[in-house]
């Protein structure tokens, strides 16, 4: 079995050059058996990737981070996906002690009060559970697209995540929104209806709004913050 590491990325890039998403995933499954996982937030992109994995019965685990404050529509598409593909997407939840302490000390909507509070909330609800979900894996498949953020324009399709000691694979990195939607329609894949209402990036309900015409893709996340770069800490680029 191959061992994933920062130095193996160049070799993997050579091996996957010219391959389809399905072929790349099959190669990873072969090279890293039992150590390939996919994180889904049930977005357009993630539903497309889930379809590739589940319709081809690839032995890749799929998990989601349930922060406890997701949209009801997100839970609905989660259920629809389980039913459509006869699967059970695994949820990871925040550690209750940390969450109870944070909310008791700061209040249920503390993330509106400061960037520090918002990042602390994201860490408890997302970052720490993600570390547990990725532990023991070699390949982390994501739904990141360059079009979603200026900070992602220079990403490579494979990158080393030092914090989680895992190689990240972004199969849809250079796909356009139209290409993703075409695949959703073509395969009749369940998707979050919030996308039809202007929601581009869908996270927690209190922290996400629809994007207005002419706004940046990322404008709907943490819109009350003035920072030019707004991330929750899941994807820290080296």
Confidence at residue 234, expressed as pLDDT on a 0 to 100 scale: 63
Place of tokens 């039809």: 196
Asked whether 169 and 133 are in contact (CB, 8 A), the reply is no
Residues 6+ apart with CB under 8 A from 6: 160, 162
Q: Which contiguous run of DSSP H or E holds residue 98?
A: helix 96-106
CA distance 236 to 212: 27
Binned average pLDDT, 10 residues per bin, the chain of 238 residues: 67 94 97 97 97 98 98 98 98 98 97 94 97 97 86 83 95 95 97 94 93 82 75 56
Q: Is 232 a catalytic residue?
A: yes
Asked whether 72 and 83 are in contact (CB, 8 A), the reply is no
Asked whether 36 and 28 are in contact (CB, 8 A), the reply is yes
The order of strands in the sheet holding 90-92 is 90-92, 61-65, 36-39, 139-141, 166-169, 158-161
With CA atoms as reference, report the closest residue to 204 among 40, 64, 65, 67: 67
CA angle 110, 112, 114 (to 5 degrees): 85
CA distance 206 to 188: 29
CA distance 45 to 106: 34
Strand 166-169 and strand 158-161: the pairing is antiparallel
Which of 121, 122, 207, 232 is an active site residue? 232
Q: Which domains does the chain have, with CATH numbers?
A: 6-220 (3.40.50.620)
- Give the phi and the psi of residue 205 in degrees, each rounded to 5: -60, -45
Confidence at residue 232, expressed as pLDDT on a 0 to 100 scale: 61
Find the Cα–Cα–Cα–Cα dihedral 100, 231, 238, 142, rounded to 10°: 90
């Amino acid at each position: 079995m191959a061992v994933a590491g920062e130095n193996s990325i160049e070799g993997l890039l050579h091996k996957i050059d010219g391959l389809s998403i399905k072929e790349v995933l099959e190669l990873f499954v072969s090279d890293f058996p039992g150590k390939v996982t996919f994180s889904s937030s049930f977005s357009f992109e993630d539903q497309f990737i889930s379809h590739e994995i589940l319709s081809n019965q690839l032995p890749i685990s799929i998990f989601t981070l349930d922060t406890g404050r997701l949209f009801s529509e997100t839970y609905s598409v989660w259920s629809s996906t389980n039913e459509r593909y006869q699967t059970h997407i695994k949820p990871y939840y925040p550690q209750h002690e940390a969450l109870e302490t944070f909310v008791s000390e700061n209040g249920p909507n503390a993330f509106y009060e400061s960037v520090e509070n918002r990042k602390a909330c994201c860490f408890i609800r997302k970052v720490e559970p993600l570390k547990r979900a990725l532990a023991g894996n070699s390949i982390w498949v994501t739904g990141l697209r360059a079009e979603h953020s200026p900070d992602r324009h220079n990403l490579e399709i494979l990158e080393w995540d030092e914090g989680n000691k895992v190689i990240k694979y972004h199969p849809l990195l250079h796909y356009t929104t139209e290409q993703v939607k075409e695949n959703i329609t073509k395969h009749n894949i369940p998707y979050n209806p919030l996308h039809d209402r202007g929601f581009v990036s869908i996270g927690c309900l209190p922290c996400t709004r629809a994007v207005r015409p002419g706004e940046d893709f990322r404008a709907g996340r943490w819109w009350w913050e003035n920072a030019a770069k707004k991330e929750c800490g899941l994807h820290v680029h080296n």
